[in-house]
Amino acid sequence: MDWNDSAEQATFRAQVREVIETKMPERYRRGSSAEGAGSWQSDRISKDPAARQAASEWANALAERGWIAPHWPKEYGGAGLSPMEQFVFKQEMAQAQAPGVGGMGVSLLGPTLIVHGTEAQRAEHLPRILSGEVAWAEGYSEPGAGSDLASLQTRAIKDGDDYVINGQKIWTSGAHTADWLFALVRTDPEAPKHRGISFLMMDIHTPGLNVRPLINMAWEHGFNETFFEDVRVPAKNLVGDENRGWYVGASLLDFERSNIAGAIENRRLLTNLITYAGSAEGRPKSRLSESVALRHELADAYVQTEVLFNFSFRIISMQNRGLIPNYEASTSKLFNSELVQRAARLGTRVFGLYGNLWDRDDPMAPMGAQFTRLYVTSIPRTIAAGSSEIQRNIIATRGLGLPRG
Ligand SMILES: Cc1cc2nc3c(=O)[nH]c(=O)nc-3n(C[C@H](O)[C@H](O)[C@H](O)COP(=O)(O)OP(=O)(O)OC[C@H]3O[C@@H](n4cnc5c(N)ncnc54)[C@H](O)[C@@H]3O)c2cc1C
């Protein structure tokens, strides 16, 4: 495959760049030090009017071009971009560290409704996702059901025109800043475990639904525990058939499977590290000049980053031919998540004891403590969206044809 832009792709790339350069609010520009800058979902409901203004300006700039949902078909309000254009769009957004808008509503719920929803459900929910008015959270995992998701126990019982839900979800990312939740619930406890599950949508402020914060080890509030106590959800919010929710949920295709953003992030980390370590400010704190081993590790990290780019290119070339990446996406996810953890460890070791400094504003902390923080914040990357062991299982069985055992 030829990786140089075609004339149309080059024109499209220039358009994306121009929008980012001229329309992206200052708050989201690289180097912005505003507290919490970068997260559209929390900015949109922030107490700070400047954050709300930035979130809405950016959402409007993307919405005008259908770029909140680049991969959705045009008939549903998306941009209907080809896989290659989506790739270009993602590349440019990642390069500029521009925040995406729409979160799980765009990536997960919208595509599900397009395939499995009723006309009424699409008419009610898709426009509000596309305008950036409503944000969604995903209620799948439970304390006893993560990798083995089909073991989930949260119970929904039909009562008149409603389902009544009792149970608990966990690791519900962004539920504290979301307006709606989609969840997998058990509607038939007697059926084999995959066959008694349904897919329900609910207003997150429904009485009986309680979202409690979970603070991660970087002292950030990203995910939550979500409790359901006699939560009544109208039966019209069932997506697909009752007890067929597993198949509705499983068909949630993540369209961003190329991990191009991960490859760009790794390249940026390395480039910044090398530049800083050679600068007048960074040189005295860096151990690169005294350690051959560290220099070799940096060379390895460079090679691995280029390998990651090639995984991304392979996936996009498959999508371009109408194929759906399977174990190839697992390979890229596994490699990317483990690579960023290695890069974080390497970055902290390059700075020796300075690598322990945690405070972004500490003038002694190299690169605003970027690597120290990444050392901690990259840990969940090998758990979220399928742990490394699960990715290896997929590669071994579906990719290499090894027995399940
Ligand atoms: C940052 C983050 C955000 C998340 N956001 C959400 C969200 O928004 N909504 C949501 O529903 N969930 C979310 N999750 C949950 C995530 O989907 C689960 O953590 C993940 O599926 C793993 O499940 P678990 O934590 O229960 O671990 P477990 O499944 O209990 O696994 C524990 C350990 O056993 C290993 N293991 C399990 N099964 C196998 C096997 N068959 N073979 C080999 N090893 C195995 C795992 O790899 C892991 O090391 C999030 C998680 C993280 C870290």
133 part of the active site:
no
Distance from residue 393's CA to the centre of ligand 1 (Å)? 14
Q: Locate tokens 């509503």: which residue? A: 105
> Is 238:199 a contact under the CB 8 Å cutoff?
yes
Same domain, 265 and 354: yes
pLDDT at 203: 98
The domain that holds 274 is classified in CATH as 1.20.140.10
**Cα 126 to chain centroid, rounded:** 19
Q: What is the domain-level CATH number for residue 142?
A: 2.40.110.10
Give the total number of structural domains in the chain: 3
Considering the domain boundaries, does residue 184 fall inside one?
yes
151 with 227, same domain: the answer is: yes
Q: Are residues 270 and 224 in the same domain?
A: no
Total residues belonging to the chain? 405
Q: Verify that 292 and 327 share a domain, yes or no.
A: yes
DSSP state of 29: S
Q: Ligand 1 centroid vs 66 CA: distance in angstroms?
A: 33
40 in Cβ contact with 59 (< 8 Å)? yes
Residues 274 and 384 in one domain: yes
pLDDT of residue 252: 64
> Could you identify the atom of ligand 1 that is nearest to the CA of residue 388?
47
159 and 63: one domain?
Answer: no
- Are 159 and 77 part of one and the same domain? no
pLDDT at position 390, please? 95
- DSSP-derived letter for residue 378 is T
Q: What b-and-e string marks burial along 12-41, b requiring 16 or more CB atoms within 10 Å of the CB?
A: bbeebeebbeeebbebbeeeeeeeebebbb
Whose structure tokens read 């992030």?
265
Q: Do 302 and 350 fall within a single domain?
A: yes
Asked whether residue 404 is assigned to any structural domain, the reply reads: no
Residues 6+ apart with CB under 8 A from 58: 23, 24, 25, 28, 40, 98, 99, 101
Question: Residue 33 has what pLDDT?
Answer: 46
Beta-carbon neighbour count of residue 390 at 10 Å? 17
Residue 267 lies in a domain: yes
Q: Is 149 helix (H, G, I), strand (E, B) or coil?
A: helix
| Burial (CB count within 10 angstroms: exposed 0-12, middle 13-18, buried 19+), residue 290 | exposed
Distance CA 148, CA 145 (A): 5
The residue whose CA is least distant from atom 13 of ligand 1 is 171
Range of the domain at 209: 136-244
| Any domain includes 123 | no
- One domain, residues 36 and 70: yes
Residue 122 lies in a domain: no
Q: How far apart are CA 107 and CA 374, in angstroms?
A: 25
Give yes or no: residues 209 and 145 share one domain.
yes
What's 13's domain CATH number? 1.10.540
- Each residue's pLDDT tens digit in the chain (405 positions)? 667 899 999 999 999 999 999 999 999 986 554 444 568 999 999 999 999 999 999 999 999 999 999 999 999 999 999 988 999 999 999 999 999 899 999 999 999 999 999 999 999 999 999 998 999 999 999 999 999 999 999 999 999 999 999 999 999 999 999 999 999 999 999 999 999 999 999 999 999 999 999 999 999 999 999 999 999 999 999 999 999 999 998 766 555 677 888 999 999 999 999 999 999 999 999 999 999 999 999 999 999 999 999 999 999 899 889 888 889 999 999 999 999 999 999 999 999 999 999 999 999 999 999 999 999 999 999 999 899 999 999 999 999 999 987
Cβ 387 under 6 angstroms from ligand 1: yes
178 and 203 share one domain: yes
Beta bridge partners of 169: 226
Shared domain check, 145 and 52:
no
Under DSSP, is residue 268 helix (H, G, I), strand (E, B) or coil? helix
Please tell me if the CB atom of residue 311 comes closer than 6 angstroms to any atom of ligand 1. no
In a domain, 336, yes or no: yes
